[in-house]
Amino acid sequence: MRDVAVIGVGMTKWGELWEKSLRDIFVETALNALDDAGVDQIGSMYVGSMSSGLFVGQEHIASLLADYLGQTPVPSTRVETACASGGLAFRLAFMEVASGMSDIVLAGGVEKMTDVNGYQATYALGTAADQEYEGYHGITFPGLYALMAMAHMEKYGTTREQLAMVAVKNHHNGSKNPLAQFPFEITVDSVLNSVMVADPLRILDCSPITDGAAAAILCPVEMAKKMNKPVIKVIGTGHATDTIALSSRKDITWIEATHQASKQAYDMAKKKPEDIDLVEVHDCFTIAEICVLEALGIVEKGEGGKAVEEGLTSLDGKIPVNPSGGLKAKGHPVGATGVAQVVEITKQLRGEAGERQVKDARIAMAQNMGGSGGSSVIHIFERE
């Protein structure tokens, strides 16, 4: 198996992009990644997209996007595993380069979510849950994560204020990210006094509806060195699943798919949680970040809330979490999120993250997941 590096990344401003189509958003972003890599031809491409059919009425986007990017007849694959679609697209691109099947592969993700109304968007996102046993009975993802939050608060003493501190931290980081959907600061009070969505989660605990795309270019490490590119090496990857229905799990405060995927990634990278300098995690709701930190082994079970309160996960903390602003502030165009995490990590490891740069960053992790944790994809990177 060949060593693999990320040699180019691209991302454009996320938000409510009324004037752009799904294909416009993707092509603009992919061209940025190709320019960053200094290449104009690829051997293959993978695109993560959760629900293009429901959001914009367009399926068969593998062909569509290869066409409009000017890359036909290269093989192009659309990847779907709910909100982890982008992370899995990157993993498949990594595997293709590592196997020797292709030398230069594009991993992208895209979602255009604002072309439908709120009800339709809620329905589309809800298809990532168990439709017969969860969706049919009316529960939505804020409701599922609210159940996880209530259980965590009851079991470990996690406070409502600690949940709010996750949002405050990520908005602080996002205020330093010019590509973020919501690049502004908020306060604990503003979170606690925002509109209730599903008790105890309020609107400022929730990631937004977003239009956006992200892209990365991968190639063998030896090729990257010959191209005089900074070598951001993929040293570990993991992928795991769990029950799709929250009610089928032994402990709804624990995200087993993330735990299992992290074990695979740590083992492959020959690293431990304490070796990681920064991490981008899937904070679709504030409680998600807390639970993920525990599943990754960065903190002990039940300590995720305290870690945020004590500043462990802040930009200048022991292990900065979501320096990009996370899903909460950067935005969450569901199919693109996992690749955007790779974009942020690549910039951080190159030392190109500007005001949100993590000092002396050398090893980083990205954790992307689908639904309420029914699937999870993890990657570990190292700057050579």
- Residues taking part in catalysis: 83, 332
Task: Show Cβ contacts of residue 256 under 8 Å, excluding neighbours closer than 6 positions.
Answer: 240, 242, 249, 295, 373
Report the alpha-carbon distance of residue 173 to residue 357 in Å, rounded.
10
Are 294 and 303 contacting, i.e. CB atoms less than 8 angstroms apart?
A: yes
Interior CA angle at 346 toward 342 and 352, to 5°? Answer: 135
Report the alpha-carbon distance of residue 287 to residue 155 in Å, rounded.
13
Report the alpha-carbon distance of residue 244 to residue 111 in Å, rounded.
22
Both tokens of 324, joined, read: 């990009």
Are 314 and 278 contacting, i.e. CB atoms less than 8 angstroms apart?
A: no
Report the alpha-carbon distance of residue 149 to residue 27 in Å, rounded.
38
Residue among 340, 346, 347, 290 at smallest CA distance from 12: 340
Report the alpha-carbon distance of residue 342 to residue 367 in Å, rounded.
10
Report the alpha-carbon distance of residue 188 to residue 183 in Å, rounded.
17
